[in-house]
Structure 1
């Protein structure tokens, strides 16, 4: 009987491997188990459930989507109002439709800002909670101190990538692990898609806002309003992806907490993060 791996030398082991392949490819029972140092019972009590904050963030993100839809409608009304006053000589004509469109658009923008502020505050609180939990799960995966879970969002320019770096560490530490301490890789697609959409939308919103503030002629206002509508649509996409990200990461932390401190022979009896 030939070796089941190289198919050239006679088998010399019960697994059907030759002497050389048996040395190169030991059976699972003979392989040393690498266990990454993990949390202990002494640190486990630091965990706090992110479920409540996560649900609140999801609700507010839903409201963000609703306000974005209102803003899209207001932006289209602005475009229609100013398009109707564009003549061959580009004479600017003020009328009631434009005044109504401007008031409506301003109100929609104010509502968006209010809801976005409330959502940002709650999201950052949730983000800090999952970051602190990640410190318990696997401190080695965290490349920045816990305080940066809040501070990174307020660093000019740096807020385009620092929170993503922190989120990657949280995601890795919260990945579902086996009871022997080994890790099963979890796709970062929800994180990457959300962050990409959020950064692109952030840049587009700032550009569209600047264009709208500088617009004077009807054509300029129409073009700027079109950009604003596009940014609102992209914000809806980013909000949907943020909901998926928040829900997935919150669930991952619950799954990780259910295992308890590892190495652990059997999963913990409870499936919830300690409160």
Structure 2
């Protein structure tokens, strides 16, 4: 095919102009169309900060559990725990939605749950005992470095602690003795720490895979 501009040189494959007539950016590497990747790092850090604050309050609550009861102080700490849990949940779910969307760009076929389960899976009774874990595991596997399987031990530890916390919370509704209360605060603290580690690890995996892979330009990580 002859160049459409100079009508003398051979046009570059896939172009209508030759290398001399076409602008340099016409031959940039092809980027496949599709949704852009968005960095989870900022949201991940915000989530870890919130989890850290929640864990700190859980630590204070655990310390109070080991002392003679003080109704006013205990009530204040309980309110702080509830408020921080709600605020942390909002930030965490935003981060989880971001990593789930990125995972779909990495490997849509590996996502076994529809994207809306990223949020709804936490609130639908019964399925909330395993759907959120599945969403995280699917994102985890899709974000693993190329050719290297991602172990699930860290995610399983976090989810075991989360479910244990739900069980102990149920027990508290029928038995609010010191032993159960202390166990609940200790499990909540451990769950917060393990969740923070999962958030940091998955955010880093996605960031490194996006920068090192050919899927989209790194500018899409903004």
What is the TM-score of this pair, normalised by structure 2?
0.81
Alpha-carbon deviations, 1:183-215, whole Å to 9, x = none? 311211211111111111121122124322xxx
Per the TM alignment, residue 167 of structure 1 is displaced from its structure 2 partner at its CA by 1.0
Separation in structure 1 between the aligned mates of residue 78 and residue 220 of structure 2, nearest angstrom: 38
Q: Does the 8 Å contact 1:67/1:108 carry over to 2?
A: yes
Matches within 5 A, 1:166-245: 166-177=135-146, 183-212=147-176, 224-245=177-198
**Matched residue, 2:12:** none
Give the alignment of 1:1-275 within 5 angstroms. 41-43=32-34, 45-77=35-67, 80-81=68-69, 101-177=70-146, 183-212=147-176, 224-261=177-214, 270=218, 274-275=221-222
Q: CA deviation at 1:273?
A: 5.9
**Inter-partner Cα distance in structure 1 for 2:105 and 2:85:** 30
1:165 deviation in Å? Answer: 0.9
| Unaligned runs of at least 5 residues, structure 2 | 1-30
* Partner SS for 2:102: helix
The 8 Å contact of residues 41 and 261 in structure 1, kept in 2 or not, is answered as no
**Contact in 2 for aligned 1:61/1:239 (Cα 8 Å):** yes
Instruction: With the length of structure 1 as denominator, give the TM-score of the two structures.
Output: 0.66
Shift of 1:102: 1.3
Residue 92 of structure 1 aligns with which residue? none
Query: What is the alpha-carbon root mean square deviation over aligned residues?
Result: 1.8
Unaligned stretches of 5+ in structure 1? Answer: 1-39, 82-100, 178-182, 213-223, 263-267
Asked if the contact 2:36/2:220 (under 8 Å) is kept, the reply is: no
Equivalents in 2 of 1:76, 1:195: separation in Å?
27
Greater C-alpha Rg: 1
Q: Would the aligned equivalents of 1:253 and 1:273 in 2 still touch at CA under 8 Å?
A: no
Structure 1 runs (4+) deviating above 2 angstroms are 73-77, 259-262
What is aligned with 2:5? none
- The number of residue pairs the alignment matches comes to 192
Shift, 1:269, TM fit: 8.0
